[in-house]
Amino acid sequence: MTFIFNEIQKLTTYHFELLLEADPSQQIVEDYTTRGVVFEVLQAQQLVGIVVLLPTRPETIEIVNIAVHPNFQNQGIGQEIIKFSIQTAKDKQYHTLEIGTGSTSLAQLYLYQKMNFRITGVDRDFFLRHYPEEIIENGLILKDMIRLQQDL
């Protein structure tokens, strides 16, 4: 499979819909997409994924959103997006790549650890503090964010 990663300046409705698959708050998505760098992922000229990278400290950048279109999940696209993110961070001279995900996001936690991210902490009640609506994932109320990082 060949993927094309394009940095985008102006988000379309399709981009927003895909970002909202991974983060249900339009306000939060709008905030970090204006501060970060957004890449769309195309396969055969079709939007299959998206990733947002946000510098957080002088030598640290974070994947604040990573989403694969539901029709293309479980095909290794998430891994390719993470590989691209790692290489992009290295190319820009960052030393640490971070990512956070919900404590109920079991598939994502597996993927990130498979891609050599290590758990560094838990932000207790993050989703209760930052999201007005309750989020249910895998039959559980999402409360905590698991923080992971990879040294580059």
Q: d(Cα 28, Cα 129) in Å, to the nearest integer?
A: 13
Query: What residue type is assigned to position 42 of the chain?
Result: L
pLDDT tens digits, 79-93: 999 999 999 999 999
CA dihedral 20, 24, 26, 28 (to 10 degrees): -110
The two tokens of residue 62 are 């974070």
pLDDT tens digits, 93-134: 999 999 999 999 999 999 999 999 999 999 999 999 999 899
Structural domains in the chain (count): 1
Predicted structure pTM score: 0.94
DSSP string, 43-78: ETTEEEEEEEEEEEETTEEEEEEEEE-GGGTTSSHH
pLDDT of 1 higher than 90: no
Q: What residues make up the domain containing 58?
A: 3-151
End-to-end CA distance of the chain: 26
